[in-house]
Structure 1
């Protein structure tokens, strides 16, 4: 679990914040389908509000469970699909800590209880919900929005084996108070709530022509190819060529001293030699392009997976690269029987995919500033793989041998 530096103790918020509730779309500045990098950007823009932030993920198998950004002081968290890293579900787990504004009315927070009757009055009629007998939870559904209500055991007959009357009231005149609110995409008409129902939430479909998670095919030693835009970027291309194909880079910076050069017997330069090579950074494409400082031609591509648990996490969006095993024989397209040798950001590292390359080089990326530990670099002809301790790829560097 990662935790941002904070300026006050957790749990000492000055009062519930108010966020606009948009059923099926999002809450406050957070929209369903947004990439995790965009969510962090929103957090950084309002540090006084979102100053206690927890990031939770499954370190050993990062594709198995959601990446979660949690705001414990405000009682809600954001769930991101681990593969696409897009927001699929927003959960308010402590409704007393977060006040929601819908149209011109407020609900939730310490002063406005989100009771069944209040929810029904604000959002209007709906069909009877689902009662989970094992959990003792009754869930009420609206398009892209659900409310979960705990039902005391003595009143289970109000929900069990028959349609509950709406608005739900118990025989003693009381009404349940919501314990969880879920906001999710409604385009699939799925009912999303607590327990197994939570897994039904999916990030909304990308817009036609979206470049997010665009597949980038790799032809080792020759070029990369973008499938949506159709751009081909070969080794040896100039900065002008790259601008024409990909547009203005997000950043440009001079390359630092190459710490791996000491392993090259053919390069006699001391490690203190200043490097005049420079990078074009395309953070939104998960890509860096390295130009030779003298010839101004492309000499390397660096593709980033943006996994949590790596020092560069949240610096880049995920690059959805595809390398086929047949590439190593010179064929660009996937051939019969090569699917098992396909390398993507989801590939867990096994050297036998490409054959033995000897011992891995250890990369620390600065032990004092990197809390995640070292990674391992495996080099082959025209490509090097940076592998995290959990066996997943952090970066792929393409070059011409």
Structure 2
């Protein structure tokens, strides 16, 4: 049984780890993965068809805890403890919920102090005590209903609510959220709660990494030139424990930039990945006479939602991959969502010998492909992409579909959302020498 400390309006955790309001989904998953054997039977709940309108939820049924994430920002918004019998809870070192201690109204008041008037829902027979950043919900027996309806004395403390021995309501559910007010949602909500505001990313979750606010794709009429990345990170000179604040950073990375220049602008990548050699190369007649070619390599920036591909010979940027991190995709949870904005000028088309000009199309991480393809009039058939971790396993999320347009490759999921965008530099347009301009 987990023994956890509640910090209202902030977190739920212990000395080794904690779930902090505002932390990214991937950081919460990393905590759970580090506690294999302690936290078991974890479920991820999401809407396949409406991933932006329904909360993203991590459910831990064996511990009675549910983590509810904002579906757009993918950061932790509400922590819900929906089965109090499966977990021990403390506040400021004082245990108020355990197999030996029942979380009754009197116990909650003793531990947390008096509160403003509670709220009683006569339809659900549910009494709620709300503190700043923390709420407790008590199911009320019908024989005590009049006590809550007609005795408002608990407005200045709960002492006026007199229950017979063993008759005091016990907490059935509690929630930790940001702010002073919390709205209870309908039972159809995946987490059963909504309305809580979303805090900023906590400084404790920065972890000396750059995090992306916005990515502007720099383009000429029909070609990509580079990316302008608006980021934030920890402020210089002061540690987080000393109250250091975050600071904003803006960098431009272009095609042809060297690996050293990219590292100077964005820092060291989280991982470097080398592309696999062509497996059919061994069947070529010249395979035995020629040394194996060097492999192109990626710089993976997971918190930016970005991959950068470098040419093995020149070590210059030749491709960008922007990830949208939608649940149901093969790479989900590897990257943070890249908040990009890509403006594409459609190709001019000849209709009955008349050249038709169309307006620019703005594409973001939240655009649906059916809208984008209609505006760009993409007519070609897609390439079907089916990923698998090995030759003996299949991808449970199904195939994605890749569409090419100008110097862009759109990877589209079956629900019509864009999974990733690849921006590449055509072979004929690459400069012979490095372009090291980084603003």
Q: Which residue of 1 aligns with 2:213?
A: 214
Counterpart in 2 of 1:384?
409
The structure that has the greater radius of gyration is 2
Structure 1 residues 60 and 244 mapped into 2: Cα distance closer, same or farther (>3 Å)? same
Which of 60, 67, 84 pairs up with 2:49?
60
2:264 to 241, 244, 257: 244
Q: Is the 8 A contact 1:148 1:194 kept in 2?
A: no
Q: Paired residue for 1:332? A: none
* Residue 356 (str. 1) matches residue 386 (str. 2): no
Return the offset for 1:86.
0.2
SS class of match (1:118): helix
Of 165, 169, 173, the match for 1:176: 169
Change (3 A) 1:18 1:207: closer
SS in 2 for 1:21: strand
Q: TM-score, normalised by structure 1?
A: 0.84
**Unaligned regions of 5+ residues in structure 1, if any?**
1-15, 260-268, 330-336
**TM-aligned CA distance change 1:113 to 1:73, over 3 Å:** same
Cα distance in 2, alignment partners of residues 361 and 349 from structure 1:
15
Provide the rounded CA distance (Å) in 1 between the counterparts of 2:368 and 2:134: 36
Asked if the contact 2:23/2:201 (under 8 Å) is kept, the reply is: no
**Counterpart for residue 167 of structure 1:** 158
Q: Does 1:38 align with 2:31?
A: no
In the alignment, is residue 22 of structure 1 matched against residue 7 of structure 2?
yes
Superposed displacement of residue 171, structure 1: 4.9
Aligned mates of 1:56, 1:49 — CA distance in 2:
21
What secondary structure sits across from 1:60 in the alignment? coil
Q: 2:101 is matched with which residue?
A: 112
Bigger strand share? 2
SS of residue matched to 2:30: helix
* Equivalent residues of 2:212, 2:303 under 8 A apart: no
Of 412, 423, 435 in structure 2, the residue corresponding to residue 398 of structure 1 is: 423
Structure 1 position 111, deviation (Å) = 2.3
Q: CA deviation at 1:227?
A: 2.5
State how far apart, in whole Å, the 1-side matches of 2:51 and 2:144 are: 41
- 1:72-124 deviation line (CA, Å, top 9, x unaligned): 11001100001000000000000111111211211223222111111011000
Structure 2 vs 1, CA of residues 105 and 233 (structure 1 numbering), >3 Å: closer, same or farther? same
Match of 2:117 in 1: 128
Specify the alignment match of 1:199 in structure 2. Answer: 194
Give the 3 Å change call, closer, same or farther, for CA 243–158 of structure 1 in structure 2: same
Deviation, 1:217, is: 0.7
Name the residue aligned to 1:253: 273
